[in-house]
Amino acid sequence: MDVSGWRLQRGLRHASTPWKLAIRRKSRPRYVDKIHSDAKSDSAFADGAPVMSGWRGWLAALATVLVAVSSIGAATAAPRLAGEASPYLQSHRGDAVDWWPWGLEALAEAKRTQKPILLSIGYLACHWCHVLQSESFANATIGRMINENFIPVLVDREERPEIDDIYQRAASLLGSQTGWPLNVFLAPDGVPFFAVGYLPPERRQGLPPFTEALGVVAETYREQHGEVAAISAALGGALRERLKPEPGEPSRAALERAVAELNRNVDVFNGGFGAAPKFPRLTAIESLWRGYLRKNSPPLREAVSHALDAMSRGGLYDHLGGGFSRYTTDPEWRIPHFEKMLDVNAQFITLMTDVWRETRSPLLAERLRESVAFVLGEMRLPGGGFATAIDADSEGREGAFYVWTDAQIDRALGKDATLFKRVYGVTAEGNWEGMSVLYLAEPSMAALRERFGAAEGELASRLVSARARLRAVRDTRPRPRRDDKVLADWNGAMIAALAEAGAAFGEPVWLTAAQAAFAFVRTNLDGPAGLRHSWSAARSGLPATLDDFAQMARAAVILFEATGKDEYLAAARAWIAAAEPLWDDGPGGYFLAARPDLPQLPLAKVAVDTALPAGNAVMADVVMRVYHLTGEPLLRTRAERAVGAFFGAAEGDPLQSSGILNAADTLMAAMQIVIVGDRAQADTQTLLATAWHTSLPGRVLQVIAPGAVLPQSHPARFKDQEGGRATAYVCVGQVCSLPATTVNDLRETLVAMRGRSVP
């Protein structure tokens, strides 16, 4: 595997030297960091046939080298997990493995016993994490083998993103497939030397058993300790090299080149990017959308519309219950990996809102409303916060809650079954493991009118009724588990999404839900000790990461725009200030988190997007917006340096770092909209509604009272009302429009100004 200029080669030398690793330097290519991207997931295992690379040869050659264990015994609970708040960790309390939670105590125990650490990283909604648990971690024989030879440590990747990030990067350098579950073998000081993903308990589909990996690693660690130490030392240097940012100089020309490169990688047949497994990559689609708005480019608009329409029609979307799954296992968006994540749905609501503002697509409006209903109905917790995820599995099977047989549809729908099956792709043979995942196979009403000889209104009514009846049947099934952990960053993303959508669609209930979730975070995750990353079982977790500060600050800014309440702007400024200890004053940019008890490993500064934009991208964007609202010069400097620290990486691999491109767009072309008027008056509300109904991704919106004075750096300083009416000024850089007092004037001004950039 060749990543960022490093190659780890493995080979068998002779029987007495089971394996060796050599790291050799190559000329460094463009920064290509696949770690922590949407491509990093348990998706590679979604078809039931995990693909391992690089190490299977030497492992298979040493299949007989096993640590002797007895198969007699029963599983015992993992008492050290009893005090943990994470639902994922709690779900492993009954394992045969005597798990430790991550922390200094586990590292100290490894040093005391001189045993290597088996670090297993997963999360509650992960299907293949469940499979590994049931097959291996709950197995008495395998559990004893792990307990005798390793210090086993379990990590919830959502609770400890900084731990997950560094070991995913290390696994990539070790040639392992990255994603979840990830099993990394560490020296007692926490430095890794080997990694694997899911392995079955016995040889299956060409994969060696998990016990073989455990046995070979344990024996090699004991008998070839010097080589393991050399690997760990070399890996530390490789990680430091990998983590060096690739700076660049943001410019409009460079931004347009990167967007053009993105557009060349669009799947013109199915929409979106890439093949199976296929992820939405909504941050990259937003980059295309921003490019369309800047240049009024029909091909870019078509690429965005095609992608969102295809995802909305496919099985990625839950056509009965609303909401989107995390990815699909096919390129046509039809077969999902059924887990539903808060961050994915937040990003969908945000992007669909912005695209709908321009296109007024009925399909996007329908999907957005249904997705908001899903979030408020199924992911909202008492008190207003939002749960993290809904599991892919129920009844011990992936997707069992969501799929249908032909006969089940017939029984539930009777005379409407034929119509429904035609529209939603249900067949006798099914499209997934003998069952059918619903997707829009026949979206054309004209074809349905001809086929069924009925008017469009009648057909639509019958389909609405059919979906409701099937939903009622589905609701009687055992439901997938919900991970009730609250994450500050994912909640911030959903708060912002609901506030944007509520303002755009004129839905005050959505805005109220956003405010309630914000209050939940302030009450339960923010206090004298500062913002915390997670909350579960009435307990707050560890200190916030960069993403928490960034997403909550962004949510606060959007709530300030939507409500005009100064408390939200004050919260945004406070969280930006609280992130200052993470700032790197050398090359610039923010570290993901404070050092996670690993002095031997470097700290990560992340610019690669996940389902959400990278923390550095979100922070740069929101810091620039707050600069325009407050005029604080340090904020502008922070935003410029943060974007510049990673722009070379984004330019070289725009699909992985689209968030940096979008932050650069805000940096160069943030649209400052100032409405001078009384917020409670109808004329002010009309102008506000016009702004909220217009697609302006880099928007900074505020209402000021007549006679109020803006910060000294603001180009609209001292501008006032025209003729005693609410008046809007639209500025980009130091250039402001003529005053606008009518809906038409403001709409035309906004569209004309969004193509401008700072000279």
Question: pLDDT confidence of 59, banded at 50, 70, 90?
Answer: very low
Q: Is the pLDDT of residue 30 over 70?
A: no
Q: What's the pTM value of the predicted model, to 2 decimals?
A: 0.90
Burial 485-508 (b: 16+ CB within 10 A, else e): bbbbbbbbbbbbbbbbbbbbbeee
Do residues 58 and 10 lie in contact, with contact meaning Cβ atoms separated by under 8 Å?
A: yes
Do residues 196 and 183 lie in contact, with contact meaning Cβ atoms separated by under 8 Å?
A: yes
Q: What percent of the chain is modeled with pLDDT above 90?
A: 81
Q: Across the strands, what pairs with 675?
A: 703, 728
Q: Lowest-confidence range among 65-79, 230-244, 476-490, 636-650?
A: 65-79
Do residues 301 and 271 lie in contact, with contact meaning Cβ atoms separated by under 8 Å?
A: no
Q: What is the pLDDT of residue 268?
A: 97
Q: H-helix or E-strand containing 184?
A: strand 182-186
Q: What is the pLDDT of residue 680?
A: 96
Better-predicted residue by pLDDT, 5 or 468: 468
Q: Is the pLDDT of residue 62 over 60?
A: no
Q: Is the pLDDT of residue 749 over 80?
A: yes
Query: What are the pLDDT digits (tens) for 666-689?
Result: 999 999 999 999 999 999 999 999
Q: What percent of the chain is modeled with pLDDT above 70?
A: 89
The DSSP result for 14-63, as a single string, is BTTB--EEEEEE----S----TTSTT-SGGGGTTS-----SSHHHHHHTT
Question: pLDDT confidence of 757, banded at 50, 70, 90?
Answer: low
Q: What is the pLDDT of residue 77?
A: 59
Distance of alpha carbon 287 from alpha carbon 254, whole angstroms: 13
Longest dimension (CA), the chain: 91
Q: H-helix or E-strand containing 165?
A: helix 161-173
Beta strands 2-3 and 192-196, pairing class: unpaired
Mean pLDDT of 585-589: 93
Query: What are the pLDDT digits (tens) for 237-276?
Result: 888 888 888 999 999 999 999 999 999 999 999 999 999 9
Do residues 123 and 180 lie in contact, with contact meaning Cβ atoms separated by under 8 Å?
A: yes
Mean pLDDT of 353-381: 98
Better-predicted residue by pLDDT, 318 or 47: 318
Better-predicted residue by pLDDT, 639 or 235: 639
User: DSSP 3-state helix, strand, coil percentages of the chain (rounded to 5)?
Assistant: 45, 15, 40
Query: What are the pLDDT digits (tens) for 197-226?
Result: 999 999 988 889 999 999 999 999 999 988
Distance of alpha carbon 445 from alpha carbon 167, whole angstroms: 50
Q: Lowest-confidence range among 51-65, 224-238, 596-610?
A: 51-65
Do residues 198 and 128 lie in contact, with contact meaning Cβ atoms separated by under 8 Å?
A: yes
Q: What is the pLDDT of residue 33?
A: 29
- Range(s) for CATH 1.50.10.10 in the chain? 252-394+483-668
Question: pLDDT confidence of 39, banded at 50, 70, 90?
Answer: very low
Do residues 173 and 3 lie in contact, with contact meaning Cβ atoms separated by under 8 Å?
A: yes
- Any residues with CB less than 8 A from the CB of 373 and at least 6 apart, and which? 322
CATH fold, domain 2-242, is Glutaredoxin (3.40.30)
- Any residues with CB less than 8 A from the CB of 541 and at least 6 apart, and which? 85, 159, 532, 533, 534, 535
Contacts 24+ apart (CB under 8 A), 681-687: 681/726, 683/725, 683/726, 683/741, 684/726, 686/726, 686/743, 687/726, 687/728, 687/740, 687/741, 687/743, 687/746
Query: What are the pLDDT digits (tens) for 292-325?
Result: 999 999 999 999 999 999 999 999 999 999 999 9
Q: Is the pLDDT of residue 48 over 80?
A: no
Beta strands in 56-150 (DSSP E): 100-101, 117-122
Which ranges constitute the DSSP H helices of 246-338?
Answer: 252-264, 282-295, 298-313
Distance of alpha carbon 564 from alpha carbon 155, whole angstroms: 41
Q: Lowest-confidence range among 58-67, 306-315, 461-470, 544-553?
A: 58-67
SS3 316: coil
CATH of 252-394+483-668, one of 3.40.50.970, 3.40.50.2020, 1.50.10.10, 3.40.640.10: 1.50.10.10
Q: What is the pLDDT of residue 660?
A: 98
Q: What is the pLDDT of residue 231?
A: 86
- For residue 337, report the phi and psi dihedrals to the nearest 5 degrees: -90, 115
Give the residue carrying structure tokens 């209402």: 703
Better-predicted residue by pLDDT, 696 or 71: 696
Half-sphere exposure for 455 (CA within 13 Å, toward CB)? 3
Query: What are the pLDDT digits (tens) for 156-194?
Result: 999 999 999 999 999 999 988 899 999 999 999 999 999
CATH of 670-753, one of 3.40.30, 3.40.50, 1.10.3470, 3.30.1480: 3.40.30
- For residue 232, report the phi and psi dihedrals to the nearest 5 degrees: -60, -45
Distance of alpha carbon 710 from alpha carbon 718, whole angstroms: 7
Distance of alpha carbon 642 from alpha carbon 620, whole angstroms: 6
Q: Taking all residues of the chain, what is their mean pLDDT, rounded to a whole number?
A: 89
